[in-house]
Amino acid sequence: MRKLTYFIACSIDGFIGDPGGDAASMYPFVDEEFLAFLKAEYPETLWTPGRRALGLDDLPNKRFDTVIQGRGSYDLALKEDNTSPYAHLREYVASGTLKESPDPNVEIIADDLVGKVRELKAEDGEFGIYLCGGSQIAGELLDEIDELVIKTYPLVYGTGMPMFGSGFAISEFTLESVRTFGNGVLVRSYSRKR
Ligand SMILES: NC(=O)c1ccc[n+]([C@@H]2O[C@H](COP(=O)([O-])OP(=O)(O)OC[C@H]3O[C@@H](n4cnc5c(N)ncnc54)[C@H](OP(=O)(O)O)[C@@H]3O)[C@@H](O)[C@H]2O)c1
């Protein structure tokens, strides 16, 4: 089985953005040290134009070959006229309103999201699936998540968009690694206890 990994940035109090989802206050923490980590360990999670600017265009994938995001998250790219933000991956966007894909590299999942994710997880292959977010789709896919990689920025929001837009339910995870950075960012990875 291929792993589904929710790789996500959040505040100390667990919000992935302000109440509208805006995470811009986290961007300044992507400094030289943290960017070097992302380039070395999670290069697939950088948008294609960012990779191009950093000279990473030809970098082979390290962990993922597929990305899944909700239409809310994909909208951020569309607003920048970027129809394929992860062109180095197979891209899936969950949406009931996007009737046609705006890009040949992007496949729309209009229904049976969980079924499609199970199908992707059952494929053979050494690479996993990057669940990009946002909150709503992560909530719907919580039971399918095998790994969490949480980038915590040293900010408290008080309120905001939760990591999972789902109801109360306890899921257990095992801490696998913790990495700290000079600017106060913390990256924890967890595997799911099944
Ligand atoms: N901090 C971070 O690392 C991070 C990462 C990613 C995103 N974000 C933030 O997250 C925000 C977006 O999160 P969100 O919760 O508003 O939206 P989202 O989860 O990205 O997308 C929700 C949309 O996905 C579609 N969808 C959801 N479930 C579906 C299903 N079962 N079948 C078909 N389509 C389905 C629907 O699209 P339709 O309305 O088209 O039907 C729904 O409106 C953005 O503002 C972004 O900034 C933060």
**Could you read off the pLDDT tens digit of each residue along the chain, which spans 194 residues?**
999 999 999 999 999 999 999 999 999 999 999 999 999 999 999 999 999 999 999 899 999 999 999 999 999 999 999 999 999 999 999 999 999 999 999 999 999 999 999 999 999 999 999 999 999 999 999 999 999 999 999 999 999 999 999 999 999 999 999 999 999 999 999 999 98
Reading the block at residue 78, the tokens are: 């569309």
- Is 162 a pocket residue for ligand 1 (Cβ < 6 Å)? no
- Is 108 a pocket residue for ligand 1 (Cβ < 6 Å)? no
Q: What is the pLDDT of residue 4?
A: 98
What's the gap in Å between 132 CA and the centre of ligand 1? 9
Q: What is the pLDDT of residue 159?
A: 98
- Is 41 a pocket residue for ligand 1 (Cβ < 6 Å)? no
What's the gap in Å between 165 CA and the centre of ligand 1? 10
Which of 136, 151, 166 for a ligand 1 pocket mutation test, highest count of atoms within 8 Å of Cβ? 136
DSSP one-letter code for 107 = E
Cα distances (angstroms) measured from residue 22 to each of 32, 48, 123: 23, 20, 34
- Is 11 a pocket residue for ligand 1 (Cβ < 6 Å)? no
Overall fold of domain 4-192:
Dihydrofolate Reductase, subunit A (3.40.430)
What's the gap in Å between 72 CA and the centre of ligand 1? 4
Task: Determine the 3-state secondary structure of 177 from DSSP.
Answer: strand
Domain boundaries along the sequence of the chain: 4-192
Q: What is the pLDDT of residue 85?
A: 98
Selection from 30, 33, 19 nearest residue 151 by Cα: 30
Place of tokens 């079924």: 115
If you write DSSP's letter for every residue of 33-83 in order, what string do you get? Answer: HHHHHHHHH-GGGS-HHHHHHTT-TTPPPSSEEEEEEEHHHHHHHHTTT-S
Q: What share of the chain is helix, strand, coil (3-state, %, to 5)?
A: 25, 30, 45
Residue nearest to atom 45 of ligand 1 (CA): 21
Distance, in Å, from the CA atom of 168 to the CA atom of 65, rounded to the nearest integer, reads 31
Residue nearest to atom 10 of ligand 1 (CA): 134
Would you tell me how many other CB atoms lie within 10 Å of the CB of residue 62?
12
What's the gap in Å between 182 CA and the centre of ligand 1? 31
Q: What is the pLDDT of residue 141?
A: 98
